[in-house]
Amino acid sequence: MKEKKVIWITGASSGIGKAVAIKFAENGWSVAVSARRENLLKELKILNTNIHPYPLDVTDIERCKTTAETIINQLGGIDICVFGTGIHDPKSEKKFNLDKIREIMEVNYFGTMNSINSIYNYFSEKKNGQISIISSVAGYRGLPAAGAYCASKAALTSYAESLNFDMKMKNVRISLISPGFIKTPMTDKNTFKMPMIKTAEFAANEIFKGLTKKSNFEIHFPKAFTYFLKFLQILPNSLYFKLLSKGMKQINY
Protein backbone atom coordinates (compact mmCIF):
# COMPACT_ATOMS: atom_id res chain seq x y z
CA MET A 1 0.00 0.00 0.00
CA LYS A 2 1.50 3.32 -1.08
CA GLU A 3 2.22 5.94 1.58
CA LYS A 4 1.64 9.02 -0.60
CA LYS A 5 -0.70 9.99 -3.38
CA VAL A 6 0.94 9.66 -6.79
CA ILE A 7 0.76 11.97 -9.79
CA TRP A 8 2.30 11.27 -13.20
CA ILE A 9 3.21 14.32 -15.30
CA THR A 10 4.43 14.25 -18.90
CA GLY A 11 6.23 17.19 -20.48
CA ALA A 12 7.75 17.79 -17.06
CA SER A 13 11.27 18.86 -18.01
CA SER A 14 10.37 22.55 -18.35
CA GLY A 15 7.57 25.10 -18.39
CA ILE A 16 4.17 24.31 -16.91
CA GLY A 17 4.93 20.61 -16.42
CA LYS A 18 8.04 21.33 -14.39
CA ALA A 19 6.26 23.91 -12.22
CA VAL A 20 3.35 21.54 -11.57
CA ALA A 21 5.77 18.76 -10.61
CA ILE A 22 7.49 20.99 -8.06
CA LYS A 23 4.16 22.24 -6.68
CA PHE A 24 2.82 18.73 -6.04
CA ALA A 25 6.15 17.52 -4.65
CA GLU A 26 6.24 20.42 -2.19
CA ASN A 27 2.77 19.38 -1.05
CA GLY A 28 3.90 15.86 -0.21
CA TRP A 29 2.89 13.96 -3.33
CA SER A 30 5.03 11.32 -5.02
CA VAL A 31 5.59 12.82 -8.45
CA ALA A 32 6.52 10.71 -11.47
CA VAL A 33 7.95 13.00 -14.15
CA SER A 34 8.40 12.12 -17.81
CA ALA A 35 10.01 13.90 -20.75
CA ARG A 36 12.65 13.13 -23.34
CA ARG A 37 15.43 15.11 -21.65
CA GLU A 38 16.54 12.77 -18.86
CA ASN A 39 19.19 15.20 -17.56
CA LEU A 40 16.53 17.81 -16.75
CA LEU A 41 14.39 15.22 -14.99
CA LYS A 42 17.36 14.28 -12.81
CA GLU A 43 17.78 17.93 -11.88
CA LEU A 44 14.17 17.92 -10.66
CA LYS A 45 14.95 14.88 -8.52
CA ILE A 46 17.77 16.85 -6.88
CA LEU A 47 15.37 19.72 -6.13
CA ASN A 48 12.91 17.49 -4.32
CA THR A 49 13.22 13.82 -3.37
CA ASN A 50 9.48 13.35 -3.88
CA ILE A 51 10.14 13.62 -7.62
CA HIS A 52 10.94 10.43 -9.55
CA PRO A 53 12.25 10.59 -13.15
CA TYR A 54 10.84 8.29 -15.85
CA PRO A 55 12.31 9.37 -19.21
CA LEU A 56 9.86 8.99 -22.08
CA ASP A 57 9.19 9.96 -25.67
CA VAL A 58 5.38 10.04 -25.82
CA THR A 59 5.40 9.30 -29.56
CA ASP A 60 6.56 5.76 -28.65
CA ILE A 61 3.35 3.82 -27.96
CA GLU A 62 4.98 0.78 -26.34
CA ARG A 63 7.31 2.90 -24.21
CA CYS A 64 4.30 4.79 -22.86
CA LYS A 65 2.76 1.48 -21.76
CA THR A 66 5.90 0.17 -20.07
CA THR A 67 6.54 3.52 -18.36
CA ALA A 68 3.03 3.57 -16.89
CA GLU A 69 3.43 -0.02 -15.68
CA THR A 70 6.78 0.80 -14.09
CA ILE A 71 5.37 3.83 -12.26
CA ILE A 72 2.43 1.80 -10.95
CA ASN A 73 4.70 -1.01 -9.77
CA GLN A 74 7.37 1.20 -8.21
CA LEU A 75 5.20 3.91 -6.65
CA GLY A 76 2.24 1.73 -5.75
CA GLY A 77 -0.26 3.16 -8.24
CA ILE A 78 -1.32 6.43 -9.88
CA ASP A 79 -3.98 8.82 -8.57
CA ILE A 80 -3.72 11.64 -11.12
CA CYS A 81 -2.19 11.87 -14.58
CA VAL A 82 -1.38 15.24 -16.12
CA PHE A 83 -0.55 14.84 -19.79
CA GLY A 84 1.06 18.01 -21.05
CA THR A 85 3.63 17.27 -23.74
CA GLY A 86 3.55 19.94 -26.41
CA ILE A 87 5.59 21.72 -29.08
CA HIS A 88 5.06 24.84 -31.19
CA ASP A 89 7.17 26.48 -33.88
CA PRO A 90 5.96 30.03 -34.67
CA LYS A 91 8.45 30.45 -37.52
CA SER A 92 7.31 27.39 -39.46
CA GLU A 93 3.66 28.23 -38.76
CA LYS A 94 3.96 31.35 -40.91
CA LYS A 95 4.21 29.06 -43.94
CA PHE A 96 2.55 25.79 -44.89
CA ASN A 97 5.10 23.27 -43.62
CA LEU A 98 3.60 19.79 -43.84
CA ASP A 99 6.46 18.09 -42.00
CA LYS A 100 6.12 20.48 -39.06
CA ILE A 101 2.33 20.12 -39.04
CA ARG A 102 2.69 16.34 -38.80
CA GLU A 103 5.29 16.66 -36.04
CA ILE A 104 3.12 19.01 -33.98
CA MET A 105 0.09 16.72 -34.29
CA GLU A 106 2.21 13.65 -33.54
CA VAL A 107 3.58 15.11 -30.30
CA ASN A 108 0.73 17.29 -29.05
CA TYR A 109 -2.26 15.14 -29.99
CA PHE A 110 -1.13 11.58 -30.63
CA GLY A 111 1.49 11.79 -27.87
CA THR A 112 -1.32 12.55 -25.45
CA MET A 113 -3.42 9.74 -26.94
CA ASN A 114 -0.50 7.34 -26.42
CA SER A 115 -0.28 8.48 -22.80
CA ILE A 116 -4.02 8.03 -22.19
CA ASN A 117 -3.88 4.62 -23.85
CA SER A 118 -1.21 3.53 -21.37
CA ILE A 119 -3.46 4.08 -18.33
CA TYR A 120 -6.98 3.77 -19.77
CA ASN A 121 -7.53 0.19 -18.65
CA TYR A 122 -5.83 0.81 -15.30
CA PHE A 123 -8.21 3.62 -14.35
CA SER A 124 -11.21 1.85 -15.87
CA GLU A 125 -10.62 -1.22 -13.71
CA LYS A 126 -9.66 0.83 -10.67
CA LYS A 127 -12.82 2.95 -11.05
CA ASN A 128 -11.10 5.87 -9.41
CA GLY A 129 -8.60 8.60 -10.26
CA GLN A 130 -8.11 11.57 -12.57
CA ILE A 131 -6.85 12.08 -16.10
CA SER A 132 -5.99 15.69 -16.88
CA ILE A 133 -5.17 16.93 -20.36
CA ILE A 134 -3.27 20.17 -20.88
CA SER A 135 -4.74 21.91 -23.91
CA SER A 136 -4.76 25.68 -24.44
CA VAL A 137 -7.05 28.61 -25.13
CA ALA A 138 -5.47 28.31 -28.58
CA GLY A 139 -7.87 25.41 -29.03
CA TYR A 140 -10.92 27.69 -28.76
CA ARG A 141 -10.61 29.15 -32.27
CA GLY A 142 -8.01 29.40 -35.02
CA LEU A 143 -5.36 32.05 -34.37
CA PRO A 144 -2.89 33.74 -36.75
CA ALA A 145 0.41 31.93 -37.35
CA ALA A 146 -0.61 28.97 -35.21
CA GLY A 147 -2.67 26.71 -37.48
CA ALA A 148 -1.10 23.38 -36.52
CA TYR A 149 -0.80 24.29 -32.85
CA CYS A 150 -4.43 25.47 -32.65
CA ALA A 151 -5.59 22.35 -34.48
CA SER A 152 -3.72 20.06 -32.09
CA LYS A 153 -5.15 21.83 -29.05
CA ALA A 154 -8.67 21.93 -30.47
CA ALA A 155 -8.41 18.18 -31.02
CA LEU A 156 -7.32 17.66 -27.41
CA THR A 157 -10.15 19.83 -26.09
CA SER A 158 -12.76 17.97 -28.11
CA TYR A 159 -11.34 14.59 -27.15
CA ALA A 160 -11.32 15.48 -23.44
CA GLU A 161 -15.00 16.40 -23.67
CA SER A 162 -15.83 13.08 -25.33
CA LEU A 163 -13.66 11.08 -22.92
CA ASN A 164 -15.45 12.69 -20.00
CA PHE A 165 -18.72 10.96 -20.94
CA ASP A 166 -17.08 7.55 -21.00
CA MET A 167 -14.93 7.84 -17.87
CA LYS A 168 -17.62 9.46 -15.71
CA MET A 169 -19.47 6.13 -15.82
CA LYS A 170 -16.32 4.53 -14.42
CA ASN A 171 -15.95 7.09 -11.62
CA VAL A 172 -12.81 8.54 -13.23
CA ARG A 173 -12.56 12.31 -13.41
CA ILE A 174 -11.46 13.94 -16.65
CA SER A 175 -10.23 17.51 -16.51
CA LEU A 176 -9.17 19.91 -19.23
CA ILE A 177 -6.48 22.50 -18.55
CA SER A 178 -6.65 25.57 -20.81
CA PRO A 179 -3.91 28.09 -20.02
CA GLY A 180 -3.57 31.52 -21.59
CA PHE A 181 -0.08 32.85 -22.26
CA ILE A 182 2.39 31.39 -19.76
CA LYS A 183 6.08 32.31 -19.79
CA THR A 184 7.88 29.11 -20.81
CA PRO A 185 10.70 28.19 -23.20
CA MET A 186 7.98 27.59 -25.83
CA THR A 187 6.32 31.01 -25.53
CA ASP A 188 9.76 32.63 -25.41
CA LYS A 189 9.87 31.89 -29.17
CA ASN A 190 6.99 34.30 -29.81
CA THR A 191 8.03 37.67 -31.21
CA PHE A 192 4.79 39.52 -30.43
CA LYS A 193 3.46 40.98 -27.20
CA MET A 194 1.53 38.34 -25.26
CA PRO A 195 -1.43 39.80 -23.32
CA MET A 196 -1.78 39.00 -19.62
CA ILE A 197 1.16 36.58 -19.68
CA LYS A 198 1.71 34.77 -16.38
CA THR A 199 4.52 32.74 -14.83
CA ALA A 200 4.69 28.95 -14.84
CA GLU A 201 4.40 29.08 -11.05
CA PHE A 202 1.09 30.94 -11.37
CA ALA A 203 -0.11 28.20 -13.72
CA ALA A 204 1.02 25.48 -11.30
CA ASN A 205 -0.90 27.06 -8.43
CA GLU A 206 -4.07 27.23 -10.53
CA ILE A 207 -3.67 23.64 -11.70
CA PHE A 208 -2.99 22.36 -8.18
CA LYS A 209 -6.14 24.04 -6.87
CA GLY A 210 -8.18 22.83 -9.82
CA LEU A 211 -7.09 19.22 -9.46
CA THR A 212 -7.14 18.89 -5.67
CA LYS A 213 -9.63 21.42 -4.31
CA LYS A 214 -12.24 21.83 -7.05
CA SER A 215 -14.21 19.55 -9.36
CA ASN A 216 -14.76 21.66 -12.48
CA PHE A 217 -14.20 19.98 -15.84
CA GLU A 218 -12.13 22.87 -17.22
CA ILE A 219 -9.30 24.61 -15.40
CA HIS A 220 -8.61 27.84 -17.31
CA PHE A 221 -6.50 30.86 -16.42
CA PRO A 222 -5.91 33.76 -16.14
CA LYS A 223 -9.66 34.29 -15.97
CA ALA A 224 -9.71 37.85 -17.39
CA PHE A 225 -8.02 36.58 -20.54
CA THR A 226 -9.68 33.18 -20.89
CA TYR A 227 -13.20 34.60 -20.52
CA PHE A 228 -12.40 37.09 -23.28
CA LEU A 229 -11.32 34.18 -25.51
CA LYS A 230 -14.51 32.32 -24.62
CA PHE A 231 -16.43 35.39 -25.76
CA LEU A 232 -14.59 35.26 -29.09
CA GLN A 233 -15.85 31.68 -29.51
CA ILE A 234 -19.43 32.87 -29.87
CA LEU A 235 -18.74 35.75 -32.26
CA PRO A 236 -19.91 35.40 -35.88
CA ASN A 237 -17.02 34.52 -38.21
CA SER A 238 -17.14 37.91 -39.94
CA LEU A 239 -16.62 39.79 -36.67
CA TYR A 240 -14.04 37.33 -35.38
CA PHE A 241 -11.87 37.51 -38.51
CA LYS A 242 -12.10 41.30 -38.60
CA LEU A 243 -11.07 41.62 -34.97
CA LEU A 244 -8.19 39.14 -35.21
CA SER A 245 -6.91 40.62 -38.46
CA LYS A 246 -5.97 43.76 -36.54
CA GLY A 247 -3.80 41.69 -34.22
CA MET A 248 -1.96 40.16 -37.19
CA LYS A 249 -0.15 43.46 -37.64
CA GLN A 250 1.99 42.43 -34.65
CA ILE A 251 3.13 39.26 -36.43
CA ASN A 252 5.96 39.63 -38.92
CA TYR A 253 4.86 37.53 -41.90
What is the set of domains in the chain, with CATH numbers?
Answer: 6-250 (3.40.50.720)
pLDDT at 193: 84
Distances (CA, A) of 7 to 71, 202, 208: 10, 19, 11
Q: Which is it for the CA torsion 164, 19, 77, 83, positive or negative?
A: positive
**Catalytic: which of 109, 120, 140, 149?**
149
pLDDT at 248: 60
Whether residue 241 is predicted with pLDDT greater than 60 in this model: the reply is yes
Contact assessment for residue 229 and residue 180, using Cβ atoms and an 8 Å cutoff: yes
pTM strictly above 0.75: yes
> Is-catalytic flag, 240?
no
Contact assessment for residue 70 and residue 90, using Cβ atoms and an 8 Å cutoff: no
> Given pLDDT bands bounded at 50, 70 and 90, which one contains residue 18?
very high
36-89 pLDDT tens trace: 999 999 999 999 999 999 999 999 999 999 999 999 999 999 999 999 998 988
> Given pLDDT bands bounded at 50, 70 and 90, which one contains residue 250?
low
Mean pLDDT of 109-120: 98
Cα–Cα distance for residue pair 145/92, rounded to 1 Å:
9
pLDDT at 60: 98
Whether residue 118 is predicted with pLDDT greater than 70 in this model: the reply is yes
